[in-house]
Structure 1
């Protein structure tokens, strides 16, 4: 299903009256709130309702380290994976992510929540921008914020959860952090949808099976700044059976300098997940569109992508995962290149738990093919001084080492 595109023109006119710089100022106010929030604060996500707890059980803290070595037989001189933001450094030792966090859950007995974390590494450099978009002031500092939010579990019906600040994105199945995914490298739709959002969201469990949410955010990517207008979206998640969950998230907002309604970006994310004791299957399908204001004729851009993730816990510490996928960026609006990509990723995982820590080793092979007017991956050699040559195919073999520490 696609998000509705027929909106009244008065909406666009009303949005253009919003105070300039409002969301930029709101960023700093909410960040300050997370630093001074009282000891009753905690974090609520779009996940299931929090389990009642008291005292120190509500507080959590932890750390995470992700290092990897990606072998790329194309051996590009710049060591880069073209048009990608994560695991993008090849043929060198890469500290891709390090973070530390503190979080407090919200419950009926302690309704305020908070989460604050810091991060660094190669994967924190370009995860919050689309190609060519203007950045917010201080983006090089703000990218080091893992999350920074306050939340409140309001005593309304079954419990209305309101979260404000920098929170986990409601769009997408995969995380910025490899530890939360079944593969080490992320899919193309994951790398080109927001991993985080900045603004306000509200979640409400309508029934035991159906949860709905709405959000107002500062834009598609929280560190991009094409204008001062907010964007909007909603989500529903339906647990059809104890194993099967269906989720749809829609987004709409101005992501260009021209904020007229005709140039708004609309995006829809669809997820079907079946989760058993040892097997997990998930399918994702995304579609997005917008008219491009600064090109002659204002052409309509389209992006579309999908993948299927399958994970099998074989035995003990061993697990296997595979993810076939495709991604079509017709106008190069999302990746920066007009291309159609096909890819297959296969992963072997071995996990070593020790007290409060887990060390996960992942050996992975990945094949990508990029075709189209702007398709291709970097390879050794130049077609002219300063311009690297391209090849349509890329094979990657990598070892990822993931270490996590989480309080009980």
Structure 2
């Protein structure tokens, strides 16, 4: 880890300690938590293999695996909040492989302050403002992640300025590239994000975007990315979510683009049994985000059932199929997978 990276990490830790110490004059909550997910994907290939390269979550087939094991320490007071989490698993191995040193196992490292009741300033490594899904499966409608979720940032680093206005909120993000927490010898990758969220009765709306450089590569132009997502809950036991993502970037003098709509749903049959499903389409014909020259055009669906064994333990089963529509070299290109997932969450307040 270079000298600048050490200063960067030390600065965030110092801010976190400062916030914790100077919040002792008010009620402070200190919590430790452990989240985990084991899974076993059975594919038609019948052998141990890595799933398609465009997936970073649940990407091992025919072998029991840990997708995510994350330990978190967080604190919260009237004006200050902070969080530090470390993680391991196949998700971290795939999605954080480009990071430097210990940042390959850092899920979050941030501190936030509220100078005014409606204004919050956050600095560090924190969850992405783009999308409806999280790397923590227990927080999501479906056991697996959609293609678009696995190909947009799950986390980001920089500074966020957020203004809350009742049920509405707007935020500006001053970022270090497209999903990057570490800073290499070439310095920060300049980028910006924006976000608007609103809640109206049963409807939640999120409009978010990204404008800036994704990498240090000189042959890549500015990336423009727009996400529009909506969650509708007409009843306590029924939730429906939909989103569309649009992207554009000039790469190697080629105008590349992405179109990715998704619809997800969840129905709680009773206190223990939950049904879920998803339909998705992902079109990146020139490899704007997908890491190959031929790009990707795929349609997929999933159906699942969950059993809530305890308040903090969830057993999930899902059948998923993704058909690569432009895979002309492979006569069988639908790749169905049956996945079994065991997810758990343990938390304890120390203060």
The TM-score normalised by the length of structure 1 is 0.77
Alignment correspondent of 2:162: 203
Unaligned runs of 5+ in 2: none
Other-structure match for 2:344: 403
Please state if 1:105 is matched with 2:76: yes
What secondary structure, in the 3-state scheme, does the structure 1 residue paired with 2:120 have? strand
Query: 2:83 matched to which residue of 1?
Result: 115
**2:333 aligned to 369, 376, 392, which one?**
392
Higher strand share: 2
Q: How does 1:30-179 map to 2 (within 5 A)?
A: 30-33=11-14, 36-40=17-21, 55=27, 58-75=29-46, 78-107=49-78, 111-128=79-96, 135-138=98-101, 141-155=102-116, 158-179=117-138
Cα root mean square deviation, aligned: 2.6
Q: Distance in 1 between matches of 2:324 and 2:157?
A: 32
Query: Is the CA contact 1:79–1:90 (under 8 Å) kept in the aligned structure 2?
Result: yes
Contact 1:41–1:151 (8 Å) recurs in 2: no
Q: Can you list the C-alpha shifts for 1:374-406, whole angstroms capped at 9, x where unaligned? A: x48xxxxxx9xxxxx784111111110001102
Which stretches in structure 1 are left out of the alignment for 5+ residues?
Answer: 1-20, 43-52, 130-134, 377-382, 384-388
Cα distance between partner residues in 1 of 2:333 and 2:70: 35
Alpha-carbon shift at residue 205 of structure 1 (Å): 1.1
SS at structure 2 position matched to 1:55: coil
CA distance in 2, matches of 1:169, 1:120: 19
Deviation at 1:104, TM superposition (A): 1.4
Deviation at 1:368, TM superposition (A): 0.8
Match of 2:195 among 235, 260, 264: 235
Give the Cα–Cα distance (whole angstroms) in 1 for the partners of residues 15 and 342 of structure 2. 31
- Helix, strand or coil for the counterpart of 1:402? strand
1:24 is displaced (CA, Å) by 5.1
Q: Distance in 2 between matches of 1:41 and 1:330?
A: 52
Shift of 1:330: 1.4
SS at match of 1:407: strand
Secondary structure of residue in 1 paired with 2:9: helix
SS of match in other structure, 1:363 = strand
What are the Cα deviations for residues 305-339 of structure 1, in whole angstroms up to 9, with x where unaligned?
A: 01111111110111111110100011122122422
2:314 is aligned, of 360, 382, 403, to: 360
Structure 1 residue 106 displacement after superposition: 3.8
SS at match of 2:244: strand
How far off is 1:258 after superposition? 4.9
Pair 172,326 (structure 1): closer, same or farther in 2 beyond 3 Å:
same
Q: How many residues align?
A: 342
Preserved CA contact (<8 Å) 1:194 1:220:
yes
Distance 2:8 2:146 in 1: 29
1:331 matched residue in structure 2: 286
1:320 and 2:261 are equivalent in the alignment: no
What is the CA-CA distance between 1:54 and the residue it aligns to?
Answer: 5.5
Query: How far off its partner does 1:112 sit?
Result: 1.8
Output the CA distance in 2 between the equivalents of 1:249 and 1:26: 30
